[in-house]
Structure 1
Amino acid sequence: MKRFGITGWKNAGKTTLTQRLVAEFTSRGLTVSTIKRTHHSVDLDPKGTDTHKHRTAGASEVLLASDARYAILKEHRDVPPSLDQLIARLAPVDLVLIEGFKSENHPKIEAHRAETAQGLIATNTPSVVAIATDTPVRLERDIPQFDLNNIPTIADFIARYLELDQ
C-alpha cells in the first residue's frame, strides 16, 4: 500500500486537507484509508458500555459490530504500536493517507496557514516534500508549494510522487 502524510501545526487545515484528498482520490477510482494521530487521551468507548466492561475486564481486543460498520478497540497497555504496525492492520487499499505522525519518515505535505503564525515543519523535516499553503512561504530548500485549496493539483502531485495508477 502506498502511503502519504499530511502534517502541520494545530489549525493549519490538516483534517480539511485530508478529507478533501480522500474525496478527490476516491472520485478518481482509488481506494483510500486514513490513519489519524492524536495526542489527546481519546476514549471511543465510554465507561458503562458493554465493550468498555469487556476491555476493563482484560480483553486485549474488543470488536464492536453493527450492520453498518465495525470497530476494533485494541488495548496497548505496554508499548504503543508503530505506524508500520498500524498500517499492517488495515485492509489493502491503493493509498493510505496519514494525518499527523510528524516525526515518521514517510513522505508528507505540510498544511500551512499564515494566520496560525507558526514556523514551518518543513524547515527541519526532510520527509516534508511539499507545502500546501494559503500564502507563499520562503524556505531554504526547494520543494513545491501549492494553494491549500487546489485539491486536484495537490492530488496530482501526490499521485505522481507515489506513482499511483489512476
Structure 2
Amino acid sequence: MKVYGVTGWKNAGKTGLMERLVAEITGRGLRVSTVKHAHHSTDVDQPGRDSHRHREAGAQEVMLASPHRWALMHELRGADEPPLEELLARLSPVDLVLVEGFKRDHHPKIEAHRAETAKPLLAGENPSVRAVAADTPQPGCALPVFDLDDTGAIADFILREVGL
C-alpha cells in the first residue's frame, strides 16, 4: 500500500484537506483508507452502550458489527501506543492510505498551513514534508507550494509522488 501524510499545526486545515483529498482521489476510481492520529484521549464508543460495557468489563478488543459497518476497538490497557507501521498493517489493502498527523514519522507528507495559526512552517525542519498547501504565498519556501483549496493539484502531486 502507498502511504502519504497530511501534517501541520492545529487549525491549519489538515482535516478539511484530508476530506477533500479522499473525495477527489476516490472519485478518480482509487481505493483510499485513512489513519488519523489524536494527541488527546478519544473514544468512538458511548457510555451505556453494550460495546462500551464490554470494554469497561475488561475486554482487550471489542468488535462492533452492523449491516453497514464494523469497528474494532482495541484497549491498550497501559501498553505503549503502537507505531504507525503496526497500525497500517491492520488495514485491508487499498491503493492509498492518507495519514493525518504523525508529523514525526518518516512517510512523505504535505503540510497544511494557514496564516492565522501564526506558526512557522514545519517543512523547514522536517525532511519528510515534500510540499506545502497554504492559504497565503510562502516566499522563500524551497518546496512546491499549492493553494490550500486546490485539491485537484494537490491530489495530482500526491499521486505522482506515490506512483499512482
- TM-score scaled by structure 1? 0.94
Cα RMSD, aligned residues only? 1.1
Superposed counterparts of 1:1-166, under 5 Å: 1-77=1-77, 78-139=79-140, 142-164=142-164
Quote how far apart the aligned CAs of 1:83 are. Answer: 0.3
**In 2, Cα distance between equivalents of 1:161 and 1:22:** 16
Spell out, residue by residue over 1:68-120, the C-alpha distance to the aligned partner (whole angstroms, 9 max, x if none).
11111101121111101111111100000000011000000000011111111
Quote how far apart the aligned CAs of 1:31 are. Answer: 0.1
Query: Does the 8 Å CA contact 1:131/1:143 hold for their aligned counterparts?
Result: yes
- 1:5 partner amino acid: G
Q: Secondary structure at the match of 1:122?
A: coil
Matched length: 163
Quote how far apart the aligned CAs of 1:47 are. Answer: 2.4
Farther off after superposition, 89-98 or 70-79: 70-79
**In 1, Cα distance between equivalents of 2:45 and 2:13:** 27
Quote how far apart the aligned CAs of 1:160 are. Answer: 0.7
Spell out, residue by residue over 1:18-51, the C-alpha distance to the aligned partner (whole angstroms, 9 max, x if none).
0000001001100000000111211222222211
- 1:146 partner amino acid: F
List structure 1 segments (4+ residues) > 2 angstroms apart after TM superposition.
none
Q: Secondary structure at the match of 1:121?
A: coil
Calculate percent identity across the aligned residue pairs. 60
- TM-score scaled by structure 2? 0.96
Q: Secondary structure at the match of 2:81?
A: coil
Q: Which runs of 5+ in 1 are unaligned?
A: none
Q: Secondary structure at the match of 2:10?
A: coil
Query: Does the 8 Å CA contact 1:123/1:139 hold for their aligned counterparts?
Result: no
Quote how far apart the aligned CAs of 1:11 are. Answer: 1.0
